[in-house]
Amino acid sequence: MLLREVAYAKPESLAEALEILAADDGARALAGGQTLINVMKARAGSPDTLVDLSGLDDLKGIELGADGTLELGAMTTYSEIIASSEARARPILGEVCAQIADVQVRNRGTIGGNACTNDPTNHLPPLLAALGARFTIAGRGGEQTVPAEEFFLGVYLTAVGTGELLTKITIPAGRNDGFAAVTLGVDGTCVVSAAASLNGSARLALGCVDAVPVVLSPSSTDPDAVRQAVRDTALDPPSDVHASSDYRRHLAEVLAVRAIEQAQRS
């Protein structure tokens, strides 16, 4: 498919990237391109300028702090997370990244791209929300760090504004996590997903049932309590060819229990 004409910049520094993004409101960041290139083919989006982030070393790499905190550069690919010994400090990360699409997509797709796309069917937004991840956004005026609740704002919409970039995702220490999803084929996009984290208090995040991950804190990990906590959120998920609203509500309860059970075993 021939894309619409587009300008292309490959900045060598974060400052240069932010400058280009701020100068042109039709500019879009190009991370792994595993969503954006297809969006451009379909003309669902037609940026005037692509700002290729692959030359920005500041956005790459995985660091494990002495206290177990993980810092992942936004341009870190799924394959790099899967292969990283540091990322194994939070094993669920590599485990879920290995469930995204296929080898080729995992080799190019990035954690930052997945989060910034905030497609409700993506695996990582609910997972990152459950893990208590924090998102660092850089703009020309400086940087700010926000929790998931303030990062995911709507379908395809995050707190990263025009002229800004997500630079890194910070994940606190912990090991007792779980993820469960009903997907379109093995490793396909999610119909409904649930992520759980039992580090300290129980924290659940449900995906594909609302515009953003629905975060809740069940009073206990007992399956009935978990189901009740999901019911108490009064979900009103969309209906589509893959699942009716009622079926998604049902799946949310089932998958929440499964995610909690995995977190208890891990």
Partner 1 sequence: MATSAVPTERAISVTVNGTTYDREVEARKLLIHFLRDDLDLTGSHIGCDTGNCGACSVIVDGTLVKSCMLLAVQADGARVETVEGLAAGDELSKLQQAFTAHHALQCGYCTPGMLMSATALLRANPSPSDDEIRKALQGNICRCTGYWNIFEAVKAAAE
Burial class (CB in 10 A: 0-12, 13-18, 19+), 201: exposed
Give the range of 35-43, 58-66, 130-138, 196-204 binding partner 1 by CB under 8 A. 35-43
CA-CA distance, 128 to 150, in Å (whole number)?
12
Is residue 103 close enough to count as binding partner 1 by CB under 8 A? yes
* Minimum gap (Å) between residue 100 Cβ and partner 1: 11
Strand, helix or coil for residue 31:
coil
Among 13, 44, 48, 154, binds partner 1 (CB under 8 A): 48
CA-CA distance, 68 to 41, in Å (whole number)?
41
Interface of this chain with partner 1, residues 128 to 187, rule: CB under 8 A: 186-187
Closest listed residue to residue 141, CA positions, set 9, 13, 18: 18
Dihedral sign, Cα of residue 124, residue 126, residue 132, residue 134: positive
Among 12, 65, 107, 231, binds partner 1 (CB under 8 A): 107
Is residue 43 close enough to count as binding partner 1 by CB under 8 A? no
* Minimum gap (Å) between residue 110 Cβ and partner 1: 13
Is residue 224 close enough to count as binding partner 1 by CB under 8 A? no
Closest listed residue to residue 261, CA positions, set 186, 214, 194: 194
Is residue 49 close enough to count as binding partner 1 by CB under 8 A? yes
Residues interacting with partner 1, by CB under 8 A?
Answer: 1-10, 20, 23-24, 26-27, 30, 33-34, 37-38, 41, 48-50, 52, 54, 79, 101-105, 107-108, 186-187
